[in-house]
Amino acid sequence: MLSECAQSCGLCSRFARSCADDHDSCAFWASIGECQANPNYMLNYCQLSCSVCQSGCSDSNENCGFWASIGECNANPNYMLPNCQLSCNTCDGGTGGGNNGGDNGGATILTAPAGSEVGRIQSAILEYNQRTCLRFVPRTNERDYVHIKRLTGCNSQVGVAGGMQELSLGNGCLGTGTILHELMHAVGFWHEHQRPDRDDYVTIYRENAESQHRHAFDKLSNSRTLGLSYDYGSIMHYESHAFSTNGRETIVPKRPLNGIVLGAAQDFSSLDLQKINKLYDCNK
C-alpha cells in the first residue's frame, strides 16, 4: 500500500519535498526489519532506508479511499501508507480518510526493546489497533505516553497516569498474552479476580500466596465491571496457582469452567474486547 497508494495515505507531502532519513540509525533499523515491524514510524522518518520514496503523491488502487474510510491506514499500514498516501492523509491535499473516527489521540507508545522483541510488541499492539477503537502509535512529542522497557518483571500502571509511564516487559514477559495483559492494565483495567463481585465467582486463598504478592489478590472497589459478567477466560485473570508459596491453589473457581484454564489466555476473550470498547465508547 505505501508505494501504490501514496496519495490516499497522505505521505505525498514528505515524498514530494525530499527522500531522506531523519535519523542516523535508520539504515540499521531497516536492516533488522523495523520497516515491517514499526511501519508507523519507519515509513515516515526512514523513507530512504525503507525504500518507499515516491516522486509524486497518488493512490495506486481505486479502493484506497474506501479502505482508508474504514480504518485500514491504521490497521494495515504496511500496505496502506506507501500505496494509499492521498487517502490516508499523509500528503498535501490529502482527504483525511486515514483518520478513523474511533481514534484516541491520547494513547501513544514508545518501544524501547530491540530486534525481534519489538516485533512481538508490535504484533500485540496491532491486536488493539485492529480490534478496538484504541490506537497505539509511536511517540513523537506527546506529553502523555507509555514507555515500554526491559525492567524487572511484567508490570504496568493502571490507566493513564499522565506524562511518561513505564511498562515493564522483563525476562519471560514477551509472550503475546503477557504483552496484551500489561497493555490492558495501561488502558485502565485491573485483574479480573480483583473485581468487587469476585467472591461470587472465586475463592481466594491469600495464605497460600507469597507475602510480597498478596496485595495482588486484594478485592478492589474501583475495579471496573462495566455491567459485564465475570470472565474466567479473561486475559486479565490469574492462574489458579499464581504466586503460590506452597504449591497450593491461590484462586479456586466457584462455578464450572467449561474447559477454560484460569490464567492460560493468550488472546483477548470476547468479554475483554467488550470491556475495552465499552470503556472507550468505541461503538459511538
Enzyme catalytic residues: 182
Q: What is the rounded CA–CA span in Å between residue 261 and residue 57?
A: 51
- The set of cell numbers assigned to 83 is 500505496
Grid cell, residue 109, equals: 507508545
Residue 185 known to bind ligand: yes
| Distance separating alpha carbons of residues 147 and 169, to the nearest angstrom | 10
Tell me the residue length of the chain.
284
Strand-pair partners of 108: 137
The closest alpha carbon to 158, from 133, 181, 128, 129, belongs to 181
Is residue 88 classed exposed, middle or buried when 0-12, 13-18 and 19+ CB atoms within 10 A define those classes?
buried
Dihedral angle, C-alpha 179, 180, 181, 187, nearest 10 °: 110
Residues in a beta bridge with 169: 154
Q: Is 213 annotated as a binding residue?
A: no
Q: Are 34 and 74 in contact (CB under 8 A)?
A: no
**Residue 274: what residue type?**
Q
Question: How far apart are alpha carbons 60 and 78 in whole angstroms?
Answer: 14
Binding site listing: 181, 185, 191
Residue ranges of the annotated binding site for Zn(2+) are: 181, 185, 191
